[in-house]
């Protein structure tokens, strides 16, 4: 489909140019609010982690990581239903079969309710069997189940071009969760504070999404008679997408448990902090991905090969522009940033950040291509990628951890993320005719070359002022990163990475007083 997009003339394209521009605007709006959400998550994660360590201690923090790793397995029971609903409701304008769509949503919510009740019951039984370790596990389970119940609603809102509602609701619940944790810790609570905050914030998010959904769907009523046929169709699509999430849902928690067993809680804490820093960074460019799936699904249903090719190229290019600056900055300044973050130097956390960041970036760049295949209903290559990643992720980090300790574990996990991504990009060309790996390499090289002058200048300034106490403040590093972004933006135009028109659109988009009325107008449509 992508090998010769020029073969399709303008008269053959079903999606008109104004409609395509509106689609790009919805993607931009969802990405902008997603950046707000991800920035909030990253900032709270950076600020909250040192507070948790100081209040809970290293051992208590490790116990919290262990419990949340166990409850992370519950995310596997979401079964990819939110993605399936986003795809189905994304085609609503082409096939407005509202009763069928409502039946699918009702079936998904009913299934998750049954799964949630069973999971909570089982964790209460486990807590009574092993009270010393798993006392709080049922409460973390309840919070996770409430989060799962909100995912189908979030998928429907994304399919109805309301991703900004999902992002803003997530931002509000994140702020509420962090504030409640800090307050409870200050008044003397322990791990119970984190469990209670998770339950409260997840419940708030669920109620907010339900209220917004009543405003978004025609008729304001979602529930309809469940339909097993539609549920099977969604499970088939969702299970394929769920396989692509196995790394987050299964492999990563399993590796944490293995690392805890082999090297202890202190090493797990160092790894977890580095991993959380990398995850917070990856959240920022990844906000664009949920908005791409409904767009690719709509373009594929209308057989618009030109639109698919253009959207894929744009998404990949902007993914590089959003991720490379912060990756380069953190690779260069990881040690002093970690010191300013946790108030003491930690070579292990800095090492974990650098090594994991390389694999995460390579894997992140496959995002637009995976969303295209999922949106077009061709997920087989995504399945192959995640199977290779699972095999490597379950074997290589553990073997290298036994041989080399923490550094070996980090190298193994980074390889388990990078190698399947490279194989995926190489196979993508044979499947579609689009040279994905070469396109990403050219894009990455151009952006990196444009970033060398500003990062070199900032490194020189840092070396000259190495002993200045200002570098102990995290705000100083935020200011330095802002200067770096400004310098990078200044070099993007002369090097051809961004055109003058694109830079102008960027600053126009950031004018929130003009953006918010448009947001409200679209929300009312």
Neighbouring residues of 192: CB distance < 8 A, sequence distance ≥ 6: 136, 139, 184
Q: pLDDT category, 245, cuts 50, 70, 90?
A: low
Q: Over the stretch 125-178, which tens digit does the pLDDT of each residue have?
A: 887 877 766 778 888 888 888 988 888 888 888 877 787 888 888 889 989 988
pLDDT in tens, 214-236: 887 766 566 677 777 777 777 77
Flag the least confident range among 139-148, 271-280, 288-297.
Answer: 288-297
pLDDT, residue 10, reads 38
Per-residue pLDDT at 196 exceeds 60: yes
Please state the rounded mean pLDDT for residues 367-393.
84
What does the pLDDT look like over 433-460, one tens digit per residue? 888 888 888 888 888 888 888 888 888 8
Which comes out higher in pLDDT, residue 276 or 421? 421
- Give percent of the chain with pLDDT exceeding 70: 82
| pLDDT of 7 higher than 50 | no
Residue that the structure tokens 């189905």 belong to: 88
Q: How far apart are CA 222 and CA 212, in angstroms?
A: 12
pLDDT tier for residue 493 given thresholds of 50, 70 and 90: low
Q: 433 — alpha (psi -120 to 50), left (phi > 0) or beta?
A: left
Residues 133 and 59 sit within 8 Å (Cβ to Cβ): no
Cα 277 from Cα 319, distance rounded (Å): 19
Alpha-helical (H) ranges within 163-226 are 163-186, 191-216
Q: Please say whether the beta carbons of 406 and 348 come within 8 A.
A: yes
Where are the chain's structural domains?
A: 25-243, 246-492
Buried b vs exposed e over 341-369: b needs ≥16 C-beta within 10 Å? bbeeebebbbbbbbbbbbbbbbbbbbbbb
Q: Which pLDDT score is estimated for 222?
A: 67
Of residues 236 and 494, more confidence is placed in 236
Count, in order, helices (H) and strands (E) of the chain.
Answer: 21, 0
Cβ–Cβ under 8 Å, residues 291 and 163: yes
Per DSSP, helices labelled H in 343-405 are 347-364, 367-375, 380-404
The CA distance from 81 to 71, in Å, is 19
| Maximum Cα interatomic distance, the chain, rounded to a whole number of Å | 69
**Interatomic CA distance for residues 316 and 472, integer angstroms:** 36
pLDDT tier for residue 355 given thresholds of 50, 70 and 90: very high
């Amino acid at each position: 489909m992508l090998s010769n997009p020029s073969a399709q003339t303008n008269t053959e394209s079903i999606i008109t140019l104004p409609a395509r521009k509106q689609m790009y605007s919805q993607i931009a709006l969802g990405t902008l609010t997603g950046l707000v959400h991800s920035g909030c998550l990253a900032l709270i994660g950076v600020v909250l982690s040192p507070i948790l360590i100081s209040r809970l201690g290293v051992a208590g923090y490790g116990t919290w990581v262990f419990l949340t790793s166990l409850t992370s397995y519950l995310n596997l029971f979401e079964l990819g239903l939110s993605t399936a609903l986003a795809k189905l409701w994304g085609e609503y304008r082409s096939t407005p079969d509202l009763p069928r769509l409502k039946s699918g949503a009702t079936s998904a919510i009913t299934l998750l309710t049954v799964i949630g009740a069973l999971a909570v019951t089982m964790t209460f039984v486990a807590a009574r069997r092993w009270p010393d370790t798993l006392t709080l596990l049922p409460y973390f389970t309840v919070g996770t189940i409430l989060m799962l119940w909100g995912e189908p609603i979030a998928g429907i809102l994304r399919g109805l071009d309301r991703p900004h509602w999902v992002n803003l609701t997530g931002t509000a619940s994140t702020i509420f969760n962090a504030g409640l944790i800090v307050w409870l810790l200050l008044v003397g609570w322990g791990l119970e504070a984190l469990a209670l905050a998770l339950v409260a914030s997840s419940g708030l998010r669920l109620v907010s999404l339900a209220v917004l959904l009543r405003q978004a769907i025609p008729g304001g009523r979602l529930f309809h008679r469940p339909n097993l046929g539609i549920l099977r169709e969604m499970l088939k699509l969702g299970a394929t997408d769920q396989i692509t999430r196995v790394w987050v849902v299964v492999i990563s928690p399993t590796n944490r448990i293995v690392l805890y067993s082999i090297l202890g809680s202190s090493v797990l804490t160092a790894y977890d902090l580095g991993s959380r820093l990398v995850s917070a960074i990856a959240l920022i460019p990844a906000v664009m991905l949920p908005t791409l799936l409904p767009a690719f699904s709509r373009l594929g249903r209308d057989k618009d090969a030109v639109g698919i090719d253009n959207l894929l190229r744009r998404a990949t290019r902007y993914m590089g522009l959003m991720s490379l600056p912060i990756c380069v900055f953190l690779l260069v300044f990881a040690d002093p940033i970690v010191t300013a973050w946790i108030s003491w130097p930690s070579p292990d956390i800095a090492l974990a950040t650098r090594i994991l960041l390389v694999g995460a970036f390579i894997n992140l760049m496959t995002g637009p291509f995976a969303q295209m295949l999922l949106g077009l209903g061709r997920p087989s290559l995504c399945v192959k990628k995640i199977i290779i990643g699972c095999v490597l992720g379950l074997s290589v980090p553990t073997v290298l951890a036994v041989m080399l300790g923490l550094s070996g574990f980090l190298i193994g996990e980074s390889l388990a993320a990078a190698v399947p991504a490279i194989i995926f990009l190489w196979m993508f060309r044979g499947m579609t005719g689009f040279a994905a790996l070469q396109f990403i390499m050219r894009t990455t090289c151009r952006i990196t070359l444009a970033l060398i002058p500003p990062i070199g200048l900032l490194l020189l300034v840092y070396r000259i002022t190495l002993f200045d106490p200002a570098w102990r403040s995290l705000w100083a590093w935020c200011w330095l990163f802002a200067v770096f972004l400004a310098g990078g933006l200044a070099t993007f135009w002369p090097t051809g990475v961004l055109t003058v028109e694109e830079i102008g659109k960027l600053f126009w988009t950031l004018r929130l007083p003009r953006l918010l009325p448009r947001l409200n107008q679209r929300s009312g449509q």
